[in-house]
Structure 1
């Protein structure tokens, strides 16, 4: 899993997150509600890819979520597939009033795992919870699918903003927690393996593989 951080500030991280799911499930309005607190009832289908960056404070550190809104139409899938690269989080969205969008979740999940790390943090989002009278997918069905696939789950409404911020923040916080654990693992591995020591007046340092915490090779020496 790849993480991005600004070299000049240890308090500033940038995580790429993708919004995926069938066309017209409300992905663009979820992003608009989260990023700008806006809702457009007449929003048109996204063509290609759009993204916005939103800042979130976690444990006193500033985290930037770069959220990509991918087109859901089949004819644009070849275009948007390249934009999965580097994503560490995903909101997998369906419309609770359209069962077909829920039935297609496994296809979207397969596509996500084809282009991303299998450990990408993913939340299954049942959108349009305000349209209870038109519901075709029960909350229990959503929870069961999420549990079976090892995903987080939440129902949202971009219209009335229910759970929108919570859904995005849940993904970002989990990514941040994983990142923090990897940094801690790196630090502990360095201490455990005495990977930085003095020899003949020079400092020798070892690079630590963040994925497994094991030192890989000597990087450099400096007087």
Structure 2
């Protein structure tokens, strides 16, 4: 019984345990489900809180941005107030400036009217003076013709008298014994015949004095040369020594007969050694050889020479020093400047449509500038030429595109001591021929210095023709191993400075004419552009003046 009770008890305990276990499992399952639900709810709550936190952060950033915007807006409003005050002040200043501008414009218009009135008066004075000079020139030409007729009659009479004379020794005619009294353009003087009457001698002297003073006025008694030598060069003609000896003899005889002394200041035959003297010499030459006017083009200057059928007048002495009735002719070839009184004998005006340009030759010493100008003007080449002292002057008349043009060529010295003189001539130049020796590198290196000198001395941009001279010597220099300047280097240098370029040979005459023609075409183009610009400015000025007159 006990065992059976124990078994029942154990079964009941086991059954209770089984029931408790099941009930416990159900409770655990229920707790698990509730826990899972709470977990899901907590996760949802966490997400909601995170979202709320993010929204809060966004709201905070928005509040910060709103605060920043408010601060910016306040700053902009303050700046706007400052700008408004500045605008008000600027409007006040503008009104004041406008009133001042109106006053200045009125003064400017008044000045323009005064200037126009002065220009009209000056133009009228110029036209009146030109007409007066034209009338005087016509009178001088008529007088010259009459004197020429008288001269021919006197010569014929003297010739007949000589032929009828039975003297054993004949004295040369006074017309063949005339010589200059010491100046290039001075009157001719005569050596009288022993048996000539004083009345006839005075008549002849008076006739020839007036005749030589008026020679340049008669177009039929002169001829125009293409080149003029200023005499400042050290070059000598082959027959110069003989001519000087003949002139010295004639002048000595003239001094014995007439007792007249002719002196020329030695300082005028010296090459200028300072910039002031160079500018003075240039001003004298320009005043004698050049006169430019807007409405009449440019004037050409030519040499006036006497034309006779039976003789040529003797060459004037270069330098005369009188002492004790004896005149000595110096070996120098320099000519004293022509005085204002004899200017009409040394120059004549070109036609109104003919232009004249001034070109300066520049470059180092011994690059061939004098040979270049000699080849251009006289088509000659002299192997042994002395260096130019100071400046030399030549003229050349050329036809460019069916247009006659006169060229003034100033040959400057390339030595360092004459460099300041050469620079002064760029001031009134129309173009520059810049030469270098293609067989001598330093002359090419110094091209930049010469271009700087041109830019410093000229008041405006000048056309430059860069010439590589002595082209005929380059092949021999290359064969001998000497360093030379090739064409490409010269072209690159010309492009760098905006210049024209050409390789030339003064000895052979290669491209000398072409280089000058190219430079002259560019100078003519610049001159036409400048003239066109002046005309446009004048038209604008007249339009403004007409508007002002119409408005008033």
**Shift, 1:52, TM fit:** 0.6
Report what 2:427 is aligned to: 85
Q: 1: CA distance between counterparts of 2:527 and 2:364?
A: 30
How many equivalent pairs are there? 197
Equivalent residue in structure 1 for 2:487, among 125, 128, 139: 139
Question: Does the CA-based 8 Å contact 2:358-2:408 persist in structure 1?
Answer: yes
Distance 1:184 1:97, change over 3 A: same
Q: What's the counterpart of residue 382 of structure 2? A: 40
Equivalences for 1:176-195 in 2 at 5 Å?
A: 176-191=524-539, 194-195=542-543
SS at match of 1:101: helix
Match of 2:397 in 1: 55
Offset, 1:109: 0.9
Q: Distance in 2 between matches of 1:83 and 1:197?
A: 38
Q: Which residues in structure 2 correspond to 1:1-223 (within 5 Å)? A: 4=292, 5-6=298-299, 9-131=351-473, 132-135=475-478, 136-191=484-539, 194-195=542-543
For residues 87-107 of structure 1, the C-alpha deviation after alignment (integer angstroms, 9 at most, x for no partner) is 110011100100011011111
Q: Answer whether contact 1:139 1:155 (CA < 8 A) is retained.
A: yes
Cα offset, 1:40, TM superposition:
0.8
Distance (Å, rounded) in 2 between the aligned partners of 1:163 and 1:26? 14
SS state of the match for residue 130, structure 1? Answer: helix
Compute the displacement of 1:63 (Å).
Answer: 1.2
Aligned counterparts of 2:401 and 2:452: Cα–Cα separation in 1: 33
Tell me how far 1:118 sits from its aligned partner. Answer: 4.3
Q: Distance in 1 between matches of 2:402 and 2:535?
A: 20
Larger proportion of helix: 2
Q: Take 1:92 and 1:32, find their aligned partners in 2: how far apart are those partners?
A: 16
- Secondary structure at the counterpart of residue 18 of structure 1: strand
CA distance in 1, matches of 2:520, 2:544: 33
Structure 1 position 9, deviation (Å)? 3.9
Whether the 8 Å CA contact 1:143–1:153 is kept in 2: the answer is yes
Measured after TM superposition, the shift of residue 116 of structure 1 is 1.1
SS at match of 1:109: helix
Superposition deviation, residue 197 in structure 1: 9.1
Local SS of the residue matching 2:428: coil
Gaps of 5+ in 2: 1-290, 293-297, 300-348, 479-483
SS at match of 1:91: strand
Distance in 2 between the 1:84 and 1:190 partners? 28
Distance 2:360 2:367 in 1: 14
Larger RCO, structure (CA 8 Å, separation 6 or more): 1
SS at match of 2:394: strand
The answer on whether the counterparts of 2:373 and 2:411 sit within 8 Å (CA) in structure 1 is yes
**Mapped contact 2:362–2:422 kept (Cα < 8 A):** no
Residues 147 and 53 of structure 1, relative CA distance in 2, 3 Å threshold: same
Shift in Å, 1:112:
1.2
In the alignment, the residues of structure 2 paired with residue 81 and residue 195 of structure 1 have an alpha-carbon distance, to the nearest angstrom, of 41
* Deviation by residue 1:149-186 (Cα, 9 ceiling, x = unmatched): 11100100001100000111111111011111222333
Structure 2 equivalent of residue 215 of structure 1 = none
After TM superposition, the structure 1 stretch with the greater mean CA deviation from structure 2, 176-185 or 103-112, is 176-185
Structure 1: tracts of 5 or more residues without a match:
199-203, 205-223
Q: Offset at 1:81?
A: 2.8
| Contact 1:13–1:62 (Cα < 8 Å) also in 2 | yes
- Distance (whole Å) between structure 1 residues aligned to residue 411 and residue 424 of structure 2: 13
